[in-house]
Structure 1
């Protein structure tokens, strides 16, 4: 799809027409009579009126002042608004709630007409708008038109009445309400670049009108939940029966999980238990076990925990069960089970001068000319995976892409994401066995640079780091990491060690997780560390304490052994420099 250029002053109108054409070709059977009528009537409007409407649709909110809708290419805003008012798409002087009034007017404009009321309430002119609004709201004033609120203000209030319709168009085009109209502009400016994926005429997010309406309904419920509406009001509006559409059912399951978690935190344990039971969210089973335990229903908790042990949904669930099951055994009087001790990574103990960035302080301390240390956290391994497997990730499978602004496939976090592309990923990973993977990664880094990807953070990866990684990390380790990523992309994209140290002359490396004073390993970090240790991959955990000795310690260090880095005391240096475990340059 060719996008209009920003050289055209009506570029945003051309973008909107592109959306309407897209919907007409892909969603004709799903459009309502209201939507079809709007599209036909919109096409017949004068260009200035169409442009003004699109400007309003693409701005935040539904209330505008005529004096602030000034666009050189549109010209006379009031003239352009007249056909929109006649069509009923814009209202004039609709009643405004107090909060909306305070959004539209400046402090000076408000003071000009509200000063007597403010004085009556004992509010000074120096108080902020927020204080004024809160005090006036306590009086519960009725909504009124702008001239009734501010009679001295010479302006016209416009209210957009087709905002919900524009939102439905946006939902149909993007398949979500997360992406905004600004995606077009960001692409026009080259700030965002997207992979070009072949889209069939049938590519679309929704196949039935009721799916579109259900998505919209769930989105509204989520907004109300985030606004802290009472759960009792929301629960009555959530569909109790599962959707036959797996995508919608996952959204319903996630929302039910959020309702259940809030119920649990509020002490409504039986309600939480029922909601967790109805939720298809992967974490729901673990929460059910914990709620059953809190309700002292230990036999039920034990039975569910045993089912989970036999068929865990994720490594995170297995890890949590390792804590829950022994506790349930004790409460039920069962014999202790045999617990396998997890593999432990190497430990490094450092005392360093206090720093605002502990990872940077460790990197600076351990880095050597022949063994640089680079802060990568989750970016490096994800990027190597994303570059090597680019073709599999962006394969134009049904339901994966349905508009030109995808940063990744829509089913990225679905359970069958890997299964649907198993042969494609196998072909990509085969390069690790053939030995040409480094050439592929370098070529993709060059050819795809800057294109949006769910795995590649371009700003965090440069050619030097890429070259070091391809030189020092063996293909066997890359395969292990990549296969673990594919096992649970949502969970395993995070939790990787903070730093990586390379010895390019020896073609080896080690990864280092850094923990400052009082900081503890998170569960996802423990899982990654255990995985690396289990597969004999060089990984260390560096525990840092701050040197509070001050200038005297620094002076003594400067006079001491020149081979010892200043300001550091290493209690456990780990493996020797030439060991297979990766060594320790300190």
Structure 2
């Protein structure tokens, strides 16, 4: 089972994801703490006051903070042995190494590569020659201990490697014992933190020695944490298979990770070469013996299913040569895939029996990752990242400083998958979803209908099983990892397909089953709206009206979907069907202020975004034209065209501590930009006791201070909705200052209560202008070009903002009328 990303299984009824996070490069990868509710795992983040970052520390028990008596350790440091390595041998002097040879440590603060560098000297040479350095991860903690607490270390070599530049195992011990007077003068808390983290680094290198490449360590960490966190989801043989990876040679481990992250599935041995792998052929033998790869060197090993993959390894010229050898001429085209399709078709028809042997002559020996390794590592990735969008490259982005993840605690009490059967059902649903996705892309109606049929049949049973297996504490967001959730998305894709094919009766049946099975779901608004519309398509107006009316008493139908249903009721519910006018009809009579702006059009064609000439003659959209109007004759406003982006950024910065607060089960991996319950009702409900006091501070005028503090503390850190590059701190401060505390608090509460329904459809422009140095006003403007009209979601936002006291209006841009 291998599926990388399910592209089309998104919430169709939602106007937009609006996750506009952009990240600035940062050298600090950030770190998190994982704590089980019994407190069994300690913090792995460094003391805030000293700001020493740990590069994605492992959360596994083997690599957790060692449990020992810190007070006793501080008093008797001279008895603590630290096992580590000499690295960077190529930067040292040529000295013959001997087992048991004495060594000492010396600080190297002028090192241009690392100011925390610690040299390892040969104490037996008489002239203290430099053998190399301590690993960077350990030096960052020992160097301040040596500098600020005057500690010194000595030791000896415990093993001599065969290669002159290989890492050298050593043992070191502290040679100084702190006196009581020194303890009183030093900051003992900082000292303990440094010593504790140094000890942690030493323990962690026992499973990930410095000889490992970074990507090798990352893969190790992924496998270890998955086996530790989800042992019940793997069989005994599967666990043994994954654990055997640790016994492979460094070359075999590196080659597997390299191949797994490459586009495959087949590889020519002649094209495999990596500088960090000394012997690729020997590495292949080790992987083949362990079952991680399959070799294809002869006709016996080449199956028909593999032939297409092997053909894709050939160049266009090589494919032409094979055609010439077979005396065949391809009339389908001259592209690579045309040649491959022609050769495969000829082989299947029995016209090219020699094709496999000719292909192997061209490619030489080939290898593939085995199906067992592929499926188990894929499962490990999904369990580790808990989504289909991240893979091992997420580690690389952190290592390169491209992405910095926020700091939070993982408090885990409920498992995501109760047993292996739950996981297998979920994986099977994902496979159906992938086939559905590919079938829609290829317009394969037969497979699309088959996927709809399978998902529809399994929907009720999988939903009942998920409901029965969920404990009372099992939050709604954890159901996203159930087979029923995936099948519901496949069924919804099926609804869209059937509607496109005008098979409204079939679409109606599916929608009714979705609404019956999922009674507490934020997608019910879209489902109900589609059901009402489809019923109208087949002429069943009375049922269409009843569905819309019943939807309006459903607490899960909100925002734009609710307003769309209200509009349908008003349109369909006229006499004689309904005589009584609903009370909400008054909301549709509310007037939203409109202003009209004219511009010189570049194009105003239907279906194409309207373009105009700006005041300076440059091409621009209707939003830029409106900004120019408001900056000039429209009232001297400053502002930005940001739609929902600036609001989600402001919300993320103002609510940062709330978003990443300690809540059980919502943070489960180190690569999250938001809690798992961010888009559910539980986000506000669980945190209400801390949200309301925080909103009161915003209401009372502390928002700008919170914004500045959050910006300075977290700049560049990934957070759902926060776009660090699009808006400057100056713009955000101006907006927050002019909006005012009461309105800001109302919007933040609204988003906290229902982020999913309200994170899209906000007005296009946020404008502000100051009256003096400290006071100002803000205006929100929805801009519409020729023939555009407000969506129900946009209207819902404008009415809500008006109720909050905002100055809102709609700016309609039209072509300049030129008189004859």
Q: TM-score, normalised by structure 2?
A: 0.62
Q: Secondary structure at the match of 1:345?
A: coil
More deviation, 445-454/331-340: 331-340
Cα separation, 1, equivalents of 2:742 and 2:507: 44
* Mapped contact 1:98–1:141 kept (Cα < 8 A): no
* Mapped contact 1:49–1:80 kept (Cα < 8 A): yes
Aligned partner (choices 223, 240, 245) of residue 460 of structure 2: 240
The 5-angstrom pairing of residues 269-284 of structure 1 reads 269-279=504-514, 280=518, 281-282=523-524, 283-284=526-527
**Correspondence for 1:30:** 233
* Deviation, structure 1 residue 46: 0.8
**Correspondence for 1:412:** 678
The CA deviation string for residues 256-311 of structure 1, in whole angstroms up to 9 with x for no partner, is 22223323333333332232223224222232333333344444434333222223
* Mapped contact 1:344–1:533 kept (Cα < 8 A): no
Structure 1 residues 130 and 147, CA gap change in structure 2 (3 angstroms): closer
* Deviation, structure 1 residue 385: 1.2
Structure 1 residues 412 and 67, CA gap change in structure 2 (3 angstroms): farther
**Correspondence for 2:314:** 105
* Mapped contact 2:222–2:384 kept (Cα < 8 A): yes
> Unaligned 5+ residue runs, structure 1?
554-586
Cα separation, 1, equivalents of 2:278 and 2:421: 41
Cα separation, 1, equivalents of 2:787 and 2:211: 56
**Correspondence for 2:499:** 264
**Correspondence for 2:487:** 252
**Correspondence for 2:430:** 219
* Mapped contact 2:697–2:703 kept (Cα < 8 A): yes
**Correspondence for 2:630:** 366
1:323 and 2:567 are equivalent in the alignment: yes
Cα separation, 2, equivalents of 1:146 and 1:402: 50
1:308 and 2:576 are equivalent in the alignment: no
* Deviation, structure 1 residue 403: 1.0
Q: Secondary structure at the match of 1:195?
A: coil
**Correspondence for 1:509:** 778
Aligned partner (choices 357, 371, 379) of residue 168 of structure 1: 379
1:440 and 2:706 are equivalent in the alignment: yes
* Mapped contact 2:410–2:665 kept (Cα < 8 A): no
Cα separation, 1, equivalents of 2:327 and 2:816: 56
Structure 1 residues 372 and 149, CA gap change in structure 2 (3 angstroms): farther
> Unaligned 5+ residue runs, structure 2?
1-30, 32-54, 58-135, 138-209, 297-301, 440-446, 471-478, 601-611, 613-618
Structure 1 residues 309 and 154, CA gap change in structure 2 (3 angstroms): closer
**Correspondence for 1:286:** 529
* Mapped contact 2:433–2:486 kept (Cα < 8 A): no
The CA deviation string for residues 63-97 of structure 1, in whole angstroms up to 9 with x for no partner, is 22223332110122222111111222211224355
* Mapped contact 1:364–1:373 kept (Cα < 8 A): no
* Mapped contact 2:411–2:667 kept (Cα < 8 A): no
* Deviation, structure 1 residue 398: 2.1
Q: Secondary structure at the match of 1:335?
A: coil
The 5-angstrom pairing of residues 48-197 of structure 1 reads 48-93=251-296, 94-95=302-303, 99-115=308-324, 120-122=329-331, 127-136=334-343, 139=346, 141=348, 148-161=357-370, 162-197=373-408
Structure 1 residues 31 and 396, CA gap change in structure 2 (3 angstroms): farther
Cα separation, 2, equivalents of 1:460 and 1:471: 19
Cα separation, 2, equivalents of 1:307 and 1:39: 53
Cα separation, 1, equivalents of 2:358 and 2:598: 64
Structure 1 residues 200 and 374, CA gap change in structure 2 (3 angstroms): closer
* Mapped contact 2:761–2:794 kept (Cα < 8 A): yes
**Correspondence for 1:350:** 597
More deviation, 18-27/164-173: 18-27
**Correspondence for 1:230:** 448
Cα separation, 1, equivalents of 2:756 and 2:654: 19
Structure 1 residues 85 and 426, CA gap change in structure 2 (3 angstroms): same
* Mapped contact 1:26–1:203 kept (Cα < 8 A): no
Cα separation, 1, equivalents of 2:765 and 2:543: 44
Q: Secondary structure at the match of 2:278?
A: coil
* Deviation, structure 1 residue 181: 1.3
Cα separation, 1, equivalents of 2:354 and 2:700: 73
1:498 and 2:701 are equivalent in the alignment: no
How big is the alpha-carbon RMSD for the aligned residues of Structure 1 and Structure 2? Answer: 3.0
Cα separation, 2, equivalents of 1:297 and 1:397: 47
Structure 1 residues 146 and 88, CA gap change in structure 2 (3 angstroms): farther
* Mapped contact 1:26–1:204 kept (Cα < 8 A): no
Cα separation, 2, equivalents of 1:421 and 1:103: 54
Q: Secondary structure at the match of 1:292?
A: helix
Q: Secondary structure at the match of 2:706?
A: helix
Q: Secondary structure at the match of 1:509?
A: strand
**Correspondence for 1:3:** 56
* Deviation, structure 1 residue 184: 0.6
The CA deviation string for residues 521-554 of structure 1, in whole angstroms up to 9 with x for no partner, is 23322221222234441122222224486xx99x
* Mapped contact 1:62–1:163 kept (Cα < 8 A): no
The 5-angstrom pairing of residues 421-460 of structure 1 reads 421-460=687-726
* Deviation, structure 1 residue 336: 5.7
**Correspondence for 1:537:** 806
* Deviation, structure 1 residue 43: 1.2
* Mapped contact 2:701–2:740 kept (Cα < 8 A): no
Cα separation, 2, equivalents of 1:144 and 1:483: 70
1:389 and 2:655 are equivalent in the alignment: yes
* Deviation, structure 1 residue 16: 0.8
Structure 1 residues 285 and 341, CA gap change in structure 2 (3 angstroms): closer
* Mapped contact 2:763–2:782 kept (Cα < 8 A): yes
Q: Secondary structure at the match of 1:340?
A: helix
More deviation, 328-337/357-366: 328-337
Cα separation, 2, equivalents of 1:305 and 1:65: 60
* Deviation, structure 1 residue 136: 4.6
* Deviation, structure 1 residue 321: 1.2
Cα separation, 1, equivalents of 2:418 and 2:499: 36
* Mapped contact 2:266–2:369 kept (Cα < 8 A): yes
**Correspondence for 2:736:** 470
Structure 1 residues 332 and 488, CA gap change in structure 2 (3 angstroms): farther
Cα separation, 1, equivalents of 2:354 and 2:402: 41
